[in-house]
């Protein structure tokens, strides 16, 4: 069975703090970027959602740290669907060191589906529901520069 969708990147110097580890708030950025790329890999990116009069909003984001990441580390963010409700869905991001697979952090983001006008909750469309359930197994977006 293939791995879930993976977004790979390299930790940049400006993302680290005085303790020489990735500053905690950066993990929210990492998760958002990985989940944006996950949606793109599903074939339903945010531009397409907006063009259809839809959007989704993060209403809850949690992160549990397990080990530090440092400048120049290459990290993998594996994204998978955890829950699919009527108007919401939860994506999980497992962040690991690419070299040895050791865990760095785990995040969960709860998204609520919205209409753009008026800005109200709406059911997750059937086509997006099917795409989320299928996921994007085996897809790797590599922005690490490892070649």
Whole-number Å distance between alpha carbons of 15 and 71? 8
Predicted TM-score (pTM) of the model is 0.95
Tell me the percentage of the chain whose pLDDT exceeds 70.
99
Q: Return the axis-axis angle of helices 26-42 and 126-134, rounded to nearest 10°.
A: 110
Q: Is the pLDDT of residue 146 over 90?
A: no
Whole-number Å distance between alpha carbons of 147 and 138? 18
Whole-number Å distance between alpha carbons of 15 and 54? 32
What are the pLDDT digits (tens) for 7-40? Answer: 999 999 999 999 999 999 999 999 999 999 999 9
Q: Which pair of structure tokens corresponds to residue 105?
A: 């952090």
Q: Note the pLDDT of residue 1.
A: 66
Domains of the chain: 5-136 (3.10.129.10)
Q: Note the pLDDT of residue 28.
A: 96
Task: Judge whether 143 and 9 are in contact, CB under 8 Å.
Answer: yes
Q: Note the pLDDT of residue 38.
A: 98
Task: Judge whether 53 and 94 are in contact, CB under 8 Å.
Answer: no
Q: Which pair of structure tokens corresponds to residue 57?
A: 């909003």
Q: In 3D, which of 63, 76, 68 has the Cα closest to residue 21?
A: 68
Number of Cβ within 10 Å of residue 69's Cβ equals 22
> What mean pLDDT value characterizes the chain?
96
Q: Tell me which H or E stretch contains 106.
A: strand 103-115
């Amino acid at each position: 069975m293939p791995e879930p969708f993976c977004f790979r990147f390299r930790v940049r110097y400006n993302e680290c703090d005085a303790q020489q580890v990735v500053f905690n708030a950066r993990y929210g950025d990492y998760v958002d970027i990985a989940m944006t790329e996950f949606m793109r890999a599903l074939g339903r990116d945010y531009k397409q959602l907006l063009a259809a009069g839809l959007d989704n909003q993060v209403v809850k984001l949690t992160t549990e740290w397990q080990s530090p990441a440092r400048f120049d580390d290459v990290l993998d963010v594996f994204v998978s669907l955890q829950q699919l409700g009527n108007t919401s869905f939860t994506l999980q991001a497992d962040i690991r060191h690419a070299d040895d697979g050791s865990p760095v952090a785990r995040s969960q983001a709860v998204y609520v589906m919205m209409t753009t006008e008026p800005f109200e909750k709406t059911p997750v469309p059937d086509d997006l529901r099917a795409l989320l359930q299928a996921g994007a197994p085996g897809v790797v977006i590599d922005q690490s520069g490892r070649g």
